[in-house]
């Protein structure tokens, strides 16, 4: 397996910086010669996840935010988004389009409409989510390179 992995840190709380990690990931994948359509799908899926980390994993005196790990292998790109946020009480509900626990301030910024997780699932070929209330959430997504 000749895979290559890289990590990106997402700061919690700072909405103006949300998207910097996804932007860096997009540029990195582009420079590796990954097909543009795949790069776009990865970028969108990771960006929604990054926004979620900022919205739902605020620092509040703790580090907050999370880590995005991207692994590129010949057959697929794997994205692991791990945060130490407040966790999700009902994951099935959270996966429904339109379900949200985001505050009004977040909606005023153009997010928090309950589309984030469904979008992430739609753009990936494999999707898994585990979450523990008070501990954090981990989303693992895979996008195949040869479809």
Q: Which of 13, 28, 38, 40 binds another protein (CB under 8 A)?
A: 40
Q: Is 66 exposed, middle or buried (0-12, 13-18, 19+ CB in 10 A)?
A: buried
Name, in order, each residue with C-beta under 8 angstroms of 91's C-beta and a sequence gap of 6 or more: 129, 130, 131
| Distance separating alpha carbons of residues 26 and 41, to the nearest angstrom | 10
CA 129 to chain centre: 11
Of the pair 1, 108, the CB lying nearest another protein is at 108
User: Which among 47-55, 83-91, 127-135, 139-147 is the span making contact with another protein, rule CB under 8 A?
Assistant: 47-55
Q: Which of 33, 36, 61, 74 binds another protein (CB under 8 A)?
A: 36
Binding site for another protein (CB under 8 A): 15-16, 18-19, 22-23, 26, 36, 40-41, 43-44, 47-48, 51, 109-113, 115-116, 119, 122
């Amino acid at each position: 397996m000749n895979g290559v992995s890289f990590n990106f840190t997402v700061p919690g709380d700072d909405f103006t910086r949300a998207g910097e990690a996804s932007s860096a990931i997009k540029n990195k994948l582009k420079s590796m010669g990954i097909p543009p359509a795949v790069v776009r799908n990865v970028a969108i899926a990771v960006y929604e996840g990054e926004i979620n980390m900022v919205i739902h994993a605020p620092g509040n005196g703790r580090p907050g935010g999370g880590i995005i790990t991207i692994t590129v292998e010949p057959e697929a790109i794997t994205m692991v988004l791990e945060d130490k946020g407040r966790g999700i009480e009902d994951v099935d509900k959270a996966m429904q389009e339109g379900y949200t626990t985001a505050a009004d301030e977040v909606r005023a910024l153009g997010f928090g409409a309950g589309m984030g997780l469904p979008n992430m699932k739609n753009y990936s070929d494999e999707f898994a989510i585990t979450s523990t209330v008070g501990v954090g959430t981990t989303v693992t997504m895979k996008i195949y390179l040869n479809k």
